[in-house]
Amino acid sequence: MRIRVAFGLFNALVLFAALLPPVGAQEAGAPTVEAVQAEIRALQQRLARQNRELDAGQEALRDQERAIAARARELAGIRDDVETQSQQSRRLREQAAEVRDRLTVERQVLAEQVRMAYLSGRREMVKLLLNQESPARLGRLLVYYDYLNRKRTERIGAVGRDLEEQERLAAQSEQAAAELASLEFAQTDELAALESDREERRRILARIEDGIRSADSELQRLLEEERRLTEVVAGVDALVTEYPADMALDFRDARGQLMWPVQGALINDYGDSRVDGRLRWNGVTVGAPRGSPVRSVHAGRVVYADWLPGLGLLVIVDHGLGYMSLYGHNESILTESGAGVAAGQPIAQVGDSGGQRQSALYFEIREDGDPVDPRPWMNARLRR
């Protein structure tokens, strides 16, 4: 496969290495950049070996869920474009309505001027000259009529400009409508392709489940998935602990104040039993509608953003001081390895990747690589 599970992790770790000071600037005895890069390569190779050990079903599931994520992200982009174009069309319609109102007023004023000019007679200037009026009064009337004529000309010009503006807005509105129709057509195509990808995913998932014949095989599969996750977390944790990123906010100070990454119903709680009590949940699973935004619970840096067996599309955020938060089963990932994130920032969308039957988010908090109960860290309880 061209893309490996280690790819996202490798990019993040390369970023941490790149942020280090030059070799000459490091303290005596401190690891060099070359040493860190050697550790990165070793970790990458180890993850690559594990990735090659995936069975055919898991490989197919990984590739299909990556394809779904790409489709979902493309669809989200198209929907953003549709909303932007819709807003532009509304603004154009509002502007056109304002121009039409202004045009109506200008036409009324111009019509009144024309009517008054007609009533005063077409030879009003000749009449004024023939009447025996004083020169001063005649001068004032000439200035008055000159003023009226100039205003009449200005009104005619304003109406002409309003007409041109109306035509321009009408043309822009038609173009915006055509672009919106094209975007909506593309959105329909993406939705159809996405549903096709999801149908293929269901077939792959059914084949994987057919291969699980007993609780023992299910337990072995879960233990293997947990081992992979533990190794990824340990590999990342070892490097970010040695070369921590600067964090403006202390994660420990946020205990009891964190917002849940999604709002929904609690499906699996921390410590609940799995597979006849022989395994327990290291985090919580929260049911939420597909596509719901998954938000980072605290400021940090993304250190992993890729697919992992059992958790599907996974995002890991490092919060410094040994704390990390994990977000699994996403439909798409909205960030990338190495990116800084703020508290509450969307980093993914809820999905069912990793072999799940319903859309939900799997969420963990880890301290020094070990999972901890996330509930004391949050500012509210989830409903069952």
Domain ranges of the chain: 80-200, 245-384
| 310 Cβ neighbours under 8 A, 6+ residues apart | 221, 222, 225, 226, 228, 229, 328, 354, 355
Q: How confident is the model at residue 144 (pLDDT cuts 50, 70, 90)?
A: low
Predicted local confidence at residue 292, as pLDDT: 94
pLDDT tens figures, 52-88? 555 666 777 777 778 777 777 777 777 777 777 777 7
Report how far residue 81's alpha carbon sits from residue 172's, in angstroms, rounded to the nearest whole number.
Answer: 17
243 pLDDT above the threshold of 70: no
Residues, the chain: 384
Q: Which range in 35-39, 235-239, 252-256, 356-360 is most confidently predicted, on average pLDDT?
A: 252-256
206 pLDDT above the threshold of 80: no
Check: CB of residue 353 under 8 Å from CB of residue 330.
yes
375 pLDDT above the threshold of 90: yes
How many CB atoms are closer than 10 A to CB 188?
11
Q: How confident is the model at residue 360 (pLDDT cuts 50, 70, 90)?
A: very high
Q: What mean pLDDT value characterizes the chain?
A: 75
Check: CB of residue 314 under 8 Å from CB of residue 69.
no
245-384, CATH topology level: Glucose Permease (Domain IIA) (2.70.70)
pTM more than 0.85:
no
95 pLDDT above the threshold of 60: yes
215-242 and 6-18 are packed helices; what angle lies between their axes, rounded to 10 degrees? 10
Report how far residue 353's alpha carbon sits from residue 177's, in angstroms, rounded to the nearest whole number.
Answer: 36
